[in-house]
Amino acid sequence: MKLSEINNISGRTVVVTGGSSGIGLATAECFLAADANVAICGRDKNRLNLAYQELSSKFSDDRIFAKLADVTSKEQVEDFAKSVIDNFGGVDTLVNNAGQARLSKFADTDDLAWNEELNLKFFSIIYPSKIFQTCLEKSPSGSIVCVGSLLALQPERHLVATSAARAGQLNLIHSMAQEMAPNIRVNSILIGTVQSGQWLKRFEADKNSGNDYDAWLKEKALTKGIPLGRFGKPEEAARAIYFLGTPLSSYTTGSTIDVSGGYSRHVG
């Protein structure tokens, strides 16, 4: 079979949680560019509307669906899933993308922060995966791709809660891959440092940052010791997600792709 035939995902339906910005939005655009149908959700109404407007300015409206939903709410995810299925009829790929880093050390992470972080990192995968599972099983090539972090294998002291949650999340994903095979493939990407709204906020809060955001990012990358000398771009993570979420990776499950610019210090 030719690569162009394997890579033909026209008519497939892809769900992207946290799809209103950053990696999620870049992923939605990547799949739309390949002629798939894409449904996105997010918690911020204004940001979700802007994302929908951006996507619909480039692609056909009938292939895009957007709905407000918090993936830590089972009821909201169920409502989102019903709307997606009503709109597109089925789902072939689920991208679990929701989640962000929490800056904290063990000494100053209170009980509420631990609960919030663990709840977000686990249930942002559990609820969508369980609720879309039956639908994904009906697909000839059902796939779940989770956006994880290199912190799962390489924790950092100032991100203690997120590091711990990401490690448990990776274990969960591997367990899901074993249980859902052979009907659904489950994989993840492990991102290092990727440009995002969080980094822009840190730049704006840094009184010594100067006026050049790109120069500030480059300095941070060099300070962190990223071998490629820069932060990743959302579209670079999206391309790895695309590979894992399509038949291009048909014999891959329970695996990860490192998208960290060489920052990983572990072997394997």
Question: Is pLDDT of 265 > 90?
Answer: no
Q: Which residue has the tokens 């796939």?
A: 143
> Where residue 268 falls among pLDDT bands split at 50, 70, 90?
low
User: How many residues in the chain?
Assistant: 268
Residue 57, phi-psi category: left (phi > 0), alpha (psi -120 to 50), beta (remainder): alpha
Burial (0-12, 13-18, 19+ Cβ within 10 Å), 128: buried
pTM to 2 decimal places: 0.94
- What is the pLDDT at residue 99? 76
Residue bearing the bigger pLDDT, 203 or 210: 203
Q: Does residue 72 surpass a pLDDT of 80?
A: yes
| Furthest CA-CA distance within the chain | 57
Instruction: Give the domains, in start order, of the chain with CATH numbers.
Output: 11-194+232-258 (3.40.50.720), 195-231 (no CATH)
Number of H helices, E strands in the chain: 9, 7
Q: Could you tell me the two tokens for 80?
A: 């989102």
> Of all residues in the chain, what percent carry a pLDDT higher than 70?
97
CA distance 104 to 117: 11
For the cut 80, the answer to whether the pLDDT of residue 98 exceeds it is no
Instruction: Tell me the C-alpha to C-alpha distance, in Å, between residue 186 and each of 70, 171, 174, 236.
Output: 22, 12, 8, 20
Distances (CA, A) of 137 to 41, 59, 103: 21, 28, 38
Contact 9, 31 (CB under 8 A): yes
Predicted local confidence at residue 135, as pLDDT: 97
Residue 18: the pLDDT is: 96
At residue 61, φ and ψ (nearest 5 deg) are -55, -35
Q: Quick check: 207 pLDDT over 70?
A: no
pLDDT of residue 28: 98
The answer to whether 109 and 41 have CB atoms below 8 angstroms apart is: no
pLDDT for the residue numbered 171: 97
The listed range with the strongest mean pLDDT (18-32, 185-199, 219-233) is: 18-32
Q: What is the pLDDT of residues 113-136, one digit of tens each?
A: 999 999 999 999 999 999 999 999
Element (H, E) at 14: strand 13-16
What does the mean pLDDT of the chain come to? 93
